[in-house]
Amino acid sequence: MKNILAIYIVLFSTTITNAQLACSKYYPLKEGTTFEIITYDKKDKVGAVVNYEVKNATLNKATMVATISDDKGKEVTTTEYDILCTDKGISIDFKSLMSADYLQQYKDMEIDMTGTNLEIPNNLSVGQSLPDANMDATIKVTPINMKMSINMVDRKVESKETITTPAGTFDCIVISYSTEFKMGLKRIGTSKQWMAEGVGVVKTEEYNKSGKLVSYTLLTKLNK
């Protein structure tokens, strides 16, 4: 099972006078913040390098621009999505659920997406359940259209851990969830996400239905 979720993906915090959002405890949403996340397969081979930059930060919204490069460093495509303030934290555009692998594969095709945003509350505690998120996509390939769906369900705060990546050592909340991917055949797996205050997603791991590691991502650079 390929990277089902844009592991990503995304996540940030602070005040409008400095062109940044004040509504997120976990995500550094100051305009100009940059960070890099690298995806690896189970054999530690680089799948994609994704460089993110926070742009257009206003009172209640910021735009995340992601530039995706292949394992040789060649830029493949760019994409962007919005992060919105809510009364409890932030809401991340469902477009962020599209993985870097698929964005590379279908970069020259028109894609229509609908879905439910990913909610990240500021107050997270072990045992807490979180709302589901999903994305449905229609990929326009003449003469037919391909359908894709990604569901992120049973999200739960599992534990607290301290982990180290090339970007540093971080105290993290660990969120687990089930993933359902359908594009012709349906594939089911599970994932874990390590998230640090003021940093966002530090690490993710994806497992197949047998519980074997399929892929993972690491935060490798952060400049805020």
* pLDDT at residue 78, as a whole number: 87
Nearest residue to 21 via CA among 92, 101, 78, 115: 92
Sign of CA dihedral 152, 119, 44, 161: negative
* pLDDT at residue 104, as a whole number: 63
* pLDDT at residue 16, as a whole number: 30
Indicate the length of the chain as a whole number: 224
Average pLDDT over the chain, rounded to whole? 86
What CATH number has the domain spanning 16-223? 2.40.360.20
Question: pTM higher than 0.75 for the full model?
Answer: yes
Domain boundaries, the chain: 16-223
Q: What token pair was written down for 221?
A: 């650079």
Provide the Cα torsion 18, 37, 134, 150; round to 10°.
Answer: 160
Provide the Cα torsion 157, 94, 131, 124; round to 10°.
Answer: 40
DSSP the chain: ----S-TT---B---GGGTB-SS-SSB--BTT-EEEEEEEETTS-EEEEEEEEEES--SSEEEEEEEEE-TTS-EEEEEEEEEEE-SSEEEE-GGGGS-HHHHHHTTTSEEEEEEEPEEEES---TT-EE--EEEEEEEEETTEEEEEEEEEEEEEEEEEEEEEETTEEEEEEEEEEEEEEEESEEEEEEEEEEEETTTEEEEEEEEETTS-EEEEEEEEEEE-
Residues of the chain with pLDDT under 70: 1-22, 99-107
Contact (CB, 8 A) for 181 and 4: yes
